[in-house]
Structure 1
């Protein structure tokens, strides 16, 4: 039998308090004076990569294949996520609690508690509620707005996030950060000023998605650091609590019946799109928890703005929508410059 040190283990969310004051604050910093660690940078890049691909696959399922229910896709994603977590936990590849990064800790923990206690589930229930609202609003917002305008309107999320963080944890920001955020929002309005496909319902859903995203990220930052759970543990709680609620909601709305009547349900192309969407949703949720706990809710939102360059380019290439014009290009550039300035302040500690 192999020794426990040779077992596989995956990275968990936030480091222990000792690590925060030691290695995480010293040699793991990206640059001298930087406020971001190398692990935080890894989480940010992972999130941006997954987010770009997931938006495109969700758009393909809902628009290209005209799948009738975003809620069912969310349910499939949640079921796959819980299944992945269950298998990885049973095989002792991952742990659900912070600090159990070593294989021996995972083994010892698995013999004392099977998964998580009822008290822990109750403690994380506010996070699960905000997660459910965030997922439903985000999935629905992709349908009614073209990809370029979707990413443009979503950039205003950072303002909602800063406001919610100030309300919940009293977070304050420097003038440099506020200025860079203001540039992002101004660029978003400039870029969207000539959208000829205006849809009041679609725009309203996107702004509702912005609000739920801000509340969700701020809740991760607050509960994720006080519950003792890592990213996998928080994802497990979300799935266990939200899955039955979402299943009941799809039943009473008739979404499951519409899904069974969907003509392309077993088409190979659609099944591949749906499978990749579920896998990317799992990776995206993990990277969101990791990025938010290691960095901050605002940094998570800014990363969403930085990855928009690739989302917009690929969205125009595959789905079309918003036409190119000088005003739109100027607005996009202003938004990217603002996001870049924030990233500079974060990386170099200005």
Structure 2
């Protein structure tokens, strides 16, 4: 076999290097695609489950305290993100006064978006809520055109036109049509689009007042949900949901995390039968809360 000369060796080495680089690049691309796919699936599952749970609670239990439910969910989000930040799992920006001042207009729209979503879910079925949410894309596209001089091609406008047609035809053929629910959902569409557009304007200013010069997703979650708590309490008083918040559902549901935390923190020995008994007692408390809510209404 003829030995390789220097030029052939360099050429062969270059080919091997390129092949190795191509393999490494394709591996990174595959890993990024997998991460994006997992993130998308996680988002879909969490988003769908939240909508379905909210719809179930607001409709099935005749629960007339959507703001209280929103406040509870936001409080849980604050606790989870703060705990992860405390243990160094994630990094968040400190909530300074300057950052709060910059972010407050965005947060007011954020709270309005959540509240109107809760109110619309009480009256409209989940399928129609999903269809009507497409109107948000139309409002956002128009807002981008006027506020940011962003132009969309004909394919985008064609898709948006189909969304409008589907929303109108869905509303006309909706057998469970409820004017109040549709009014809340349309308001929610405008607030959601306003939140997206306002967020784009405020982000650059918000980054300038942070210590790191950046504002990641976890910091935004912590900022939005923390600032929403006092606004939520005010809205609870305005919409007269104090009785629901204090004496019924929250008073019963808080026993569930309390019982679990007590078993885990103090390493209480338990059996399957004992766990079933505890679960039975907790469910009895939830059914009691449901009965009290229906009695009040």
| TM-score (structure 1 length as normaliser) | 0.57
Could you say which residue in structure 2 is the equivalent of 1:52?
A: 48
- Tell me the residue number matched to 2:271: none
Q: Paired residue for 1:147, among 126, 132, 136?
A: 126
| Structure 2 unaligned regions, length at least 5 | 1-24, 208-213, 258-297
State yes or no: 1:259 paired with 2:255.
no
Work out which of the residue numbers 220, 229, 234 in structure 2 matches 1:234. Answer: 220
2:170 is the counterpart of 1:174: no
For the pair 1:199 / 2:178, whether they are aligned, the reply is yes
The equivalent residue for 2:287 is none
- 1:222 equivalent to 2:201? Answer yes
Which stretch shows the higher mean deviation, 139-148 or 181-190? 181-190
Is contact 2:123-2:178 (8 Å) kept?
yes
Kept in 1: contact 2:171–2:177 (CA 8 A): no
Please say if residues 143 and 197 of structure 2, whose CA atoms lie closer than 8 Å, have aligned partners that are also in contact: yes
Q: Which has the higher helix share?
A: 2
In structure 2, which of residues 51, 55, 67 is the aligned counterpart of residue 71 of structure 1? 67
Q: 1:168 to 1:77 in 2, by over 3 A?
A: farther
**Is the 1:68–1:259 Cα contact (8 Å) retained in structure 2?**
no
Q: Could you tell me how far apart the structure 2 residues matched to 1:147 and 1:56 are?
A: 7
Distance 1:44 1:153 in 2: 22
Q: Which runs of structure 2 are paired with 1:183-198 in the superposition (5 Å)?
A: 183-198=162-177
Matches within 5 A, 1:285-304: none
8 A contact 2:75–2:226 mirrored in 1: no
Unaligned runs of 5+ in 1: 1-25, 98-114, 273-350
Q: How far does the alpha carbon of each residue in 1:192-225 deviate from its partner, in whole angstroms, 9 at most, with x for none?
A: 3211222211111110011111111223333345
- Cα distance in 1, alignment partners of residues 201 and 26 from structure 2: 26
Q: Higher Cα Rg: structure 1 or 2?
A: 2
CA shift for structure 1 position 65: 1.3
**CA displacement 1:240-284 (0-9 Å, x = unmatched):** 32211211221343312133444796279x979xxxxxxxxxxxx
Distance 1:38 1:172 in 2: 32
Residue equivalent to 1:246:
232
| Secondary structure in structure 2 of the residue aligned to 1:266 | helix
TM-score (norm 2): 0.66
Match of 1:80 in 2: 76
Between stretches 57-66 and 246-255, larger displacement belongs to 246-255
SS in 2 for 1:123: helix
Give the paired residue count. Answer: 225
> 2-side partners of 1:44 and 1:225: how far apart?
26
CA distance in structure 2 between the partners assigned to 1:59 and 1:213 by the alignment: 19
Question: 2:67 and 2:249 mapped to 1: Cα distance?
Answer: 18
C-alpha distance in 1, partners of 2:51/2:132?
14
Q: Distance in 1 between matches of 2:39 and 2:139?
A: 22
Distance 1:127 1:43, change over 3 A: farther
1:46-75 deviations in whole A, cap 9, x for unaligned? 332221111100011111111120000011
Q: For residues 106-154 of structure 1, give each alpha carbon's deviation from its aligned partner in whole angstroms, at most 9, with x where no partner exists.
A: xxxxxxxxx2322122222222111111111111110011222222222
Preserved CA contact (<8 Å) 1:65 1:264:
no
Cα distance, 1:89 vs. partner?
Answer: 1.1
